[in-house]
Structure 1
Amino acid sequence: MAQSPLPRLEVPVAQSNEGTSFFAGSSNFQIGNQVNNINNITIVNHDQKSAFDTLNEKLNPLTQATHNRNLQISPPDSQCLPGTREKIIQQIKAWADSGILLKGVPSHVLWLYGYVGCGKSAIAQTIADKFDKKRRLAASFFFFRGMGDRSRGARFSATIASQLAKNIPATIPLIDIARVSWGNDLDNASVATQFEQLFLQPFHAALRSPGRLAQSILSGPYLTVIDGLDECEDQEDVAKLIEKIIGFFKDKPRSPLRFFISSRVEQHIGSRLRVEGSNVEEMDLAAETSEEDITFVVDETFRIASRNDRVIEAYGDWPTQEERRQLVKNADRSFIIISTLLKFILHTTGDGRTPLDRLPLALDFKNGLDDLYAEILSRSKDIIHFYDVVSTIALVKEPLSPIELGRLLRVKDWDVMKVLVDLCAIIHLPAKNELPVTLFHSSLREFLCTESRSAPHFFASPSHHKLIALRCFERMLGPIKENLASYAKRYFHHHWESNVAFRSDDPRCLREDLRECIAHFQGEFSPFPPSVVHISILTFALLDPYWVTTISPRHRKLTVGQLATRFAGKTRSRPEITVLGDVLNGLEHLLSALSKLESTSPPEELLSALHELESTSEATTIPSRPSLLSQHTLLVENCLSHLFTFDKDSRMPISFLPDSNRPPSSRVPLSMKQPGDLDVSDYSFWALSLHLANAIKHDPGLARARLASHRKYSTSTGVKEPVPPFEYLVAQHRYYDAEQTGGHLQRFKASFELATSALERVLETESLGSLPSSSRWGFHNVVGESNYWAYGCFENDTSILNMWMGFGNLAQCFIALQEGTHSRETCTLHQLYDTARREGGSI
């Protein structure tokens, strides 16, 4: 049999005389347009930049995490001043330059550790810059807490691989091959696996050839810099990453690669780097930091300030030598403390003080970084909106600009700026209001978020997450390209769940939050009409809890919030569905936390909150609404709209066409015996009987006269699938398989019998006659693009009674099939189908 064409892979190949060793062991794949063939590999020489750009676009690296990022907007903004840290930098360079052919096993990893603010990042930045100039930097990554993806491991490997491809072009095809061969599985793999496939293996394959190995022996090994590893929130990923690096060098002890890692001493890092046999070089930066270095920074900073500011120049010999020595002593060999003190003295703020006025204050700071932060913050705490602005900066997952902070908090831009200007010694004020506000050092975030250190005045309480979450809700439907709208969509859940976690042991507070959030979602700042949010929340409350908690989790592709939103049918666009779904998922998270503390069920809690809000709301703010439980009638109509389509001008005005969650361009093929992604319709099929029984019980209007009247069903927002009814019933088997799901079928059957009995009682009590005849319903042969037998009603009778008759034919057939008692001769649905087939098209 002829082999199918191999997938094409457009990649470059570096020119060399290394023969086939570069691709040793590889076969059966194709790269680019054919120029020559080596071991079944077709190679093309493309422009290297073009190939890198193509790969780089696919990798989507986090450029603001590399050594050549914009330090002004992507902290840490720290580098070693010329003349400082010379001894330790020389020691690190000597280690990195050590040859791979020396006797014994070389130390491939150097761990620089130390306390907060001792200058680890400045050294890492300086080392990365120096080796980049030498063309020996493989890659770099600077973690930073509170900077979105820079505090997580998800984009670490792609960012490192992108730099490797740029600095060592021979790795481009190897990285691309790994990316293509793994496909989407690589995105779901662990950070350690991604790092191995995108960095370690391509580096080893590219550098193992004699020519490149000889070159690295002459010039020295490549260096990879990883700074702030302790600031990565994914501690398990960090631990596995270190293990992967250590394991790589155990297998390949002569690899021309070095890793420079800097971090604080944390258990998940130190325990892996110090494991027996790891052969890791260690440097304690605190022991290497001298007062001479701090003195040099002080003198150099005041010299530059005097040169650039004529007022400071006029001060003369300022500060005095004694004052400078006191500043050095106050810093206690900490670069972050001396840097913050110098910014406090020299930066202009809105308090009217001059550098001369602020120097004596700085000389009084003698108790470390926390007291320094507290003193600087205390001088601004009375500014309007101070707490909201500072707490939001501390708690957001990604930095926002002053404009975005103002919009999120509903605060004027100039009020935000008043707070920021006074804190410019510890918070970086961007040159433009559109650029993000960042912290000079992540230790400030730790201070603000640790109650024992910053309370009572400056603690950014987790309860503030609730305000951020509510304001995110208001912005979630903003323009797609708006950064604040993007932030709100991505992090609404984080802020909401952080608040719930903080309140998780206090049912009273959780109930208050529930009521407050429902009211807010229907309030004046909601991007939706109040009635839409109310119906969506009410639908969520009335969904059958057995389906939601027991059946759906085993099969669903939608969250409960998405199911409720789609089922409510009040939204049209996909963004609206997503936003309302996220809101309902947030409520589900709170209700789950509440149910763990109390005996009440989540639906009872939600209905209770809605009832309380309804009874206290003013008619001018929230439209009048019928009683809550009577809304089961609306859910009956929703079930029918998701199972049937209505077209009064059609040959079959009512047709069984269930909703699909698929986009319009992706239909379920008719030959597929188990259509997927029909969650909304599957729920409708399950719950119609239950909602009808409850509607008859709780909606007096329905019980009296409305069952037999024609109804107008809202058009479903879902894509209708042309699924023949018998195929759909076969697909439903997955929910009701007795061996796997126990009594699900019995529940379905009991609900169907309950609704049937309730209907019969109403018909008898209200003298409405009997159920419509089954003869109205039948099959029609749909010829055209979709050739199949459609089931529906040939009369335009949209009353609940008639629709129930059509549904009943489906339900009775399904129950008999599941129980094994089905007979084609007694099944109404099959009789209608057989009659239509005999009579040539429809009945």
Structure 2
Amino acid sequence: MSSPSYFTGAHDFNVSNLTIVNTASPSDLEKAFQHLYDNIAIEAVHNSAERYGAPKCHEDTRKVVQGDIHSWMKDGDDEGDPKKILWLTGPAGAGKTAIMGSVADTCEAQGLLAGSFFFSSFAGSEERRLKRYLVPTLAYYLVIILPPAHPLRCSILTAVQRDPSIFKRRLDYQFTALLLTPYNDTKHRFDPSTLPKAFIIDGLDEVEAVNSRNPGRDPHEVRLANEEDQEDILSALLNATSDPTFPFRIVVASRLERVIQTFFSSEAAHATREIFLDDKYNPDADIALYLRANFAKIRRRYRLPPSWPSAEDIRKLVYNASGQFIYAATVVRFLQSGKRPNPQAVLNAILYRRSQGREIGALEPLDALYARILQSSPDTALAVRWIRVICLVGGRSSVQYPGHFVNLLLQDYEGQPSYLLENLTSLISIPPIEDLTSSYRFHHKSFEDFLRNKDRCGEELSAAFEDPVFFGRRCNDVFLRKSAATRIPESHRTRFLCHLIQEGPGPTFGTPTNFMDSCDVVWWVQFALHELSDQESQECILEWFRSIHVFCPSQSPGECHTQCKHWRGNILRACKGLGWGVPNVVALFREAMYRWVEEAWPLVPRGAFLEGWLHPGIEQLESNDPALRAAVTQYTVDEDYQAALDLVRDMFSHLPTDWEAQLTQETKENLYVPWNGFASVIQKIMQDVGIEEPDVAPSDRWLVDRITVAEHDWDSDVESSD
């Protein structure tokens, strides 16, 4: 017998104060729960078995940043401009995952955690790399922490029962159907303030597209597919939190990948609070504390003295870490592995890079991280070649050329720097394209160490990093064309060339096939004099003259390579034409002797040897020194530079067999020997060869000034080495 119907044929009526109660049977909800469970990535939850041993913050470290996150979760609604998304970011290895793991544990204990998902491209389970498991896993965690009869729990499971295909829908639809709609349907039946506060999502930059690891796939296509899935997740999160009724906050942690950084700085900027793990959070102090705590355990295990390790060892480890907790953690893990009988020997190998064989493995986790990030570039080998140049000209402590200069020097087309390096921002600080002054900067000291060690980075990365011709060829091209490869405004061109000439043409001589003997040297000399200050131009031209000879492939006195002769000969002619003082044959001979035994003259600064002879003329010196005036008027150079080199070679062949020992001994007694000593030997050679040009030394005043500066630099070097 069928149940009676009280509304048969009824129409055109209203029902007031209607409450619809979920009538799904317990068995239906159980089936829905099982279906939900079948579509989650349990390994991605913060307390999963797969994450056993995952990094966590030491109890006394990272207190400030964890406090900031907890405060935002609990009291963020009280802020003047409340945000529902918090983005935790920073350089690779800064400890983001450890912080997120510790925050998740604390939030779980305090009843604040609604769900968690820790993406990982290193994990054994594919589910931790794919976006499709994110929403079901978050919903599942929320379901299991709510009481069995909780209205929100039942509503979520009813949504699964109603549409079993929900897990194959778009992410934004899943957020709405599994979280937002169930909440809005049931929020009047419980106290919303009793709900947990936040979802935690870590490693967003490690999300990968389906089949991204299939053999033969184009790396660029894989990268774009991965980024598309990462953007899909971000858009779904923003869509959910944009609804004013959405009751949860979301913490997202990731590296500074381009697509993620762009999203949070543009369309999600109004809804996002950012925490960047920089020096503001004092990572060095936390790393030192972490190291001391773990070294205490190692001391007890090996019964080492309380003084182990030394304060200097701790200081050096902290310095090497450059804010990277992953560096400190890998060192500790390696020492705790129990496979090395002498902890101090292992520590020394790590600290002073004397590691051999298996000890290279001390930094394997860090090396794997570096390698993986580098491989995210669409052209890893070319990106590493760029990084090498950045090491050479963009990251020196004494001279830091702007990133804009590096870009113009290396790029083949506009936009190439972003194409190559945008996925490496967790390793390198990349200046915005419109920034003409800031330099590239490595976040970690150990990154360059990694690339310089073939045993750590591997054959391919090492070959790219040590490419002997890339930098020289790029410089060579600019010296030939007098401009960058891409079209730039004239003001940018002038600034770019000024930076280039201060770097000098020397490195181009390391390029086996170059056309530096076709360069218009006189044009470059005139450009330097026109665009640089008097002092800068003098130093620049002198450095060209020196460095070109240093990089000359020929090491035989007087037998320079064609390109070396082309540049040095034209520099001398140009300078002489401008009224400069220039070195004569005897001065060039002294330079050749200095180059041959320069290690015996530690107080002679590299690049400064010919400074006493090659400089602006009297009218530019603003000096009334009669001795200097007389000396300058005697400086001459042969019109044929080759003839001068022939004489230098001839003079060298007349040196006594023990000349090096004599010169070294005389230098110990007279610091000015490189410039005015060894006179009797040189005079005899000049007579034998038939050279009538005078052996003119720089002025006494210049020599005193030069030696004083050299002694100061020498003492400073000795002190720093001590």
TM-score surpassing 0.5? no
Q: Larger % of helix: which? A: 2
TM-score (norm 1): 0.38
Instruction: For CA contacts below 8 A with separation 6 or more, give which structure has more relative contact order.
Output: 2
TM-score (norm 2): 0.44
